[in-house]
A and B are shown apart, each in its own frame.
Chain A
Amino acid sequence: MTPEEILLRDAFLLGIELKLFWLVALLYGISFIIGISYLISSNSGVGKTLTWGLRITLIIHTILIIFRTFEGMRPPFQNLYETLSWFAWFANATYLYAQSRWREVHLPGFIVAGIAMAACLYSLLTRSPVIAPVPPALQSHWYEVHVITAFLSYAVFVVSFSVEVCFLKFKINTEESPGMFGYMDENFRRWTHRLVLFGFPLLTFAVFSGAAWANDAWGRYWSWDPKETWSLITWTVYAMYLHSKTISRWKGPTASVLNILGFICMIMTFIGVNWLVKLLDIPSLHTYAV
C-alpha cells in the first residue's frame, strides 16, 4: 500500500469509530436525562429504562472498544483519548454488575451515566483520536499495567461514590418496604465499602506500577511531582476511609465524607491538578504530567 492509500484507509476507519463514539456519548447523555426524569418522577418504570439504557450503551461501547483495538492493532490504553473511553466503559460495567445485586435500585445509574458522558465528551472534544506510534518513554509494560489498573480503580470509585451519594440522600431505615427509589438500606450501603475494597488494591498497584515504570525509564521511582503526589493523596484518603470503617463510631457519616473526599481527590489526580494553579493564584506551581 502507498502512504496515500494507508492514510485513506486510516481516515475511513477513524471516521466510523468517531461516529460510534459520538453515539456512545449521546446514549450516555440520554441515560443521564432519563436518570434526571427518574429523580423528579420517582417512577420505577423510568428507573428500569435508565438501567436498560445503560445496558444498551454498554453493548455499543464494547463494540467501539473492540473496533479501536482492531484499528490500532494494540490494546486501546495508550493515551488519554483511549483511557477515558475505557474508564467510562468500566464504570458502566461495574455499575451494571453491582446494580444486578440490588433490590429495585436504579438511581446511582444517573450519576454513573453523567460521569461516563463527561469522560466521553472530554475525550472527543479535547483529545486527538488519531492512532499514533507510541513514543519511546511510553514503550513499557509497566506503563500499560499502570494505566489499566489506575483507570479500573477510578471507575470502581465512581460507582462507590454514586452509591454513597444516593444512600445519603434517600436511605431507608427498614428492609420491610422500599423507599422512593427502591431498597436503599444498609445492605445497599455495604456496596460502597465492597467497591472501595476492590478498587483500593488496584489503586495501590497503579501507584506501584507507575513507580516501577518511572524507575525503569528515568531511574527515579518517585519524584514528588503533583500528579504523583495527588495519587498518593487519593490513596491516603481511601486508606483513611477503610480504617474508619473499622472504627465503630466512624463507620457512618465520617466514612461517607471520606469516601466522597476520596472521589474528589481522584478527580483532582485525574484532571484537576492544574485547576489548582488558577484557584490559588500561585505563579510557579509545578504542573508536570497533567
Chain B
Amino acid sequence: MLYRLLSSLKTSVYILAFMCLIFLIGTIFPQGENIEDYIKAGGKYVAVVRALDFLDIFISPLFLITTAILLLNLVICLFERFKIFLKIKRTPMDFQSLKNHPNRVTFNNADIEKRLKKTGFKLKAEAQSGAPPRVKIYEKGLQYWWLSWCYHVGIILAIFGFFLTALFAFEKDVLLYPEKPETISLYSEDTRWNEFLRDIGVEVSDKQEKNEYVLTLKEFRTEYYQGLKLDYPKEKLERLAIGIGTKKLKPSKKGFSYMPRMWLTSLDVKKPDGNILDAELWVNRPFRTGSLTLYQMGYEQKVNMTANGQRLEVEARVPFEVKGVKGKFVLGSLKLGTLFKRDGTTEEIKPVTTLYHIPESDPQAREVLGEVGLGEKLDARGVLFEFRDYKEGSYLSYRKDPGVRLVGLACLFVFLGLFVRSLGAWYRIQYAAERKIAYVIVSSRGILADKDRIIRKLNK
C-alpha cells in the first residue's frame, strides 16, 4: 500500500506542493535568527515557530523528512518506470481501427515505407496476428521516456550533493597583510557532521595539521572606473518631461566619482606537501587548488595619521575619537590604485580619503570635513590631521565543499536532459497499406516536432 502510494506521480505532486509551503515559510521567517531576538523584534506565532524550527527551516527535521520522502518517491518511481521501460512493448493497432481513425492520413502510393526509412524512421514493431494488411510501428528521435528518466536521476544526484554540502561544507575568512603569512586549515570542527558526532558523544578533534596551507600576500590592487554622472531625476513627472522632450538631461554638478572596477590579489600558496604556488584571484575569479578554493571578498585599509601631533592608526570606515574633541571622526574608503578613465586612458590615483565628523547627538550622521591625500594636512574642527601612511589588506574567504561538484554535474545533466526532452522531436508512426493506399497516424512529442512537416515529406 505504502509502496504503491510512493510510486505514484500524484504523490510526487503533493510532496512538491508541501515543499513549496516549506520554501514559503523560509522566505517569511528570518532564517538563522535566534528565537529570543525574534521574540524581541515582535515576531508572531512563537510556539509554532519554536516547535517546527521555522527560524532554521532548511535544516529542520520537517524539511529533512520531506526531502527524504521526496527522494524515496523519486527512487521508487524511477525503479518502477525502469522496469516498465525495459519491457516496453509497442502494440500496433488493428488495421480497421487505423483505417477509421479520425487523425489518420492517407497516401495514394505504396512506397511510403521506403520514404519512412529514408527520413530516418526505424521499424519498431509489427502486428503479429490478424488478417493482413498488418499495422507497423515506426519511430524517429530520442526516446523521450528515457530522457525523462535520466534527468530525474540527475535530480536525485543533485539532492545527494545538497546533503553533502549541508553536512560537510564549511567557510572561513582570512585577512592578509603584506609580509604577514597566515596559516589556514582545510579542516573544521564546525561542520554539521562534526556537530552531529559531538551530539552523539563521539570525540571530534579540533585540529588536523596535515591539511594546512600557508598564504603570503604579495600584492593587493584596486582598480576604479571614472564614474561620470548625469543628473537623472527621481521625480516621476520630471522623468516623463525628459521622455516627451520638455526637459533636458544635464551632467551632474558633483563631477566624477570613483566606481570600483576590480579588486585583485596576488599571493603565494604553500601547500601541505611543501609546494609553493603563485596564485592570483579577483572577484568572480576564485583560485582553486586541490580541495582549497579562495575567494576575493573585499579589503581592509589602515591609515597612519596624526591629529594635533598625536599618532593614530585608523581603520577606514571605523569611527575613532580625538582627545578633547566632541563626537567622533571616520575616514571613508581610501582611494588608490589605477583609475580607468572614460577617454580610454589610465592614471595612478594618489591615495586620498575623505574625513567625516560624527556628531554626538546623531551617531548615524556624517558631516564631510574634506578630502586629504597622502602626505597632506587637513585642518578641521580645530584639529590638524596629517595623512602619513597607509597599509591595505586583502580579505579572502576559503571554503571546502565536497558537494559542489556533484551538484554542478547533476544540474548540468538535469538541464541537458530537460532541454532535449522539451525541445527535441520524437515521432511515432502507425502504418499499413492496402491496395496501393497507405494509412498513417503520426504522433509526436517535443516542441520542435512538426507532424505536418513529416506528412509533407511523405507526400513528396
A residues apposed to B, CB below 8 Å: 1-4, 6-8, 10-11, 14-15, 18-19, 21-22, 124-125, 128-130, 132-133, 135-137, 139-140, 194, 197-198, 200-201, 204-205, 208, 211-213, 215-222, 224, 226, 229-230, 232-233, 236-237, 239-240, 243-244, 246-247, 250, 273, 276, 280, 282-286
Contacts and interface: CB of A to CB of B under 8 A. Distances in A.
Nearest to A224: B58
A284 B36 CA distance: 13
A128 B232 contact: yes
A54 to B, nearest CB: 21
Contacts of B239: 124-125
Interface residues of B, number: 77
Contacts of A197: 422, 447
Interface in B81-113: none
Contact of A226 (B27, B249, B412): B27
Contact of B447 (A136, A198, A224, A284): A198
B295 A236 contact: no
B399 interface: yes
B423 A198 contact: yes
B236 A125 contact: yes
B343 A136 contact: no
Interface string B379-390: 000000000000
B33 A137 contact: no
Given A3-B343, A240-B17, A224 B31 contact: yes
Contacts of A213: 284
Given A2-B343, A201-B423, A237-B20, 9 more contacts: A7-B251, A11-B230, A19-B245, A129-B232, A197-B422, A217-B283, A219-B401, A240-B20, A247-B10
Contact of A285 (B13, B30, B423): B30
Contacts of A240: 13, 16-17, 20
Nearest to B226: A3
A7 B397 contact: no
B242 A18 contact: yes
Contacts of A216: 284-286
Given A3-B226, A220-B171, A233 B283 contact: no
Nearest to A128: B232
Contacts of B236: 125
A101 B435 CA distance: 36
Nearest to A242: B422
Interface of B: 9-10, 12-13, 16-17, 19-20, 23-24, 26-31, 33, 37-38, 41-44, 58, 162, 165, 171, 225-230, 232, 236, 239-240, 242-245, 248-251, 256, 259-263, 282-286, 293, 295, 297, 342-343, 397-399, 401, 404, 407-408, 411-412, 414-415, 418-419, 422-423, 447
Contact of A219 (B261, B286, B407): B286
12 contacts: A1-B342, A10-B230, A11-B249, A15-B245, A19-B243, A136-B260, A198-B423, A205-B419, A217-B295, A219-B286, A226-B26, A240-B17
B446 to A, nearest CB: 8
A130 B230 contact: yes
Which 10 A-B pairs have CB atoms at the shortest separation, nearest pair first? A22-B243, A7-B251, A136-B283, A133-B225, A226-B27, A219-B399, A284-B30, A11-B249, A140-B284, A201-B418
A215 B406 CA distance: 13
Contacts of B259: 132-133, 135
Nearest to B342: A6
Nearest to A232: B23
Contacts of B251: 4, 7-8, 11
Nearest to B295: A219
B275 to A, nearest CB: 23
Contacts of A285: 27-30
Contacts of A129: 232
Contacts of A11: 230, 248-251
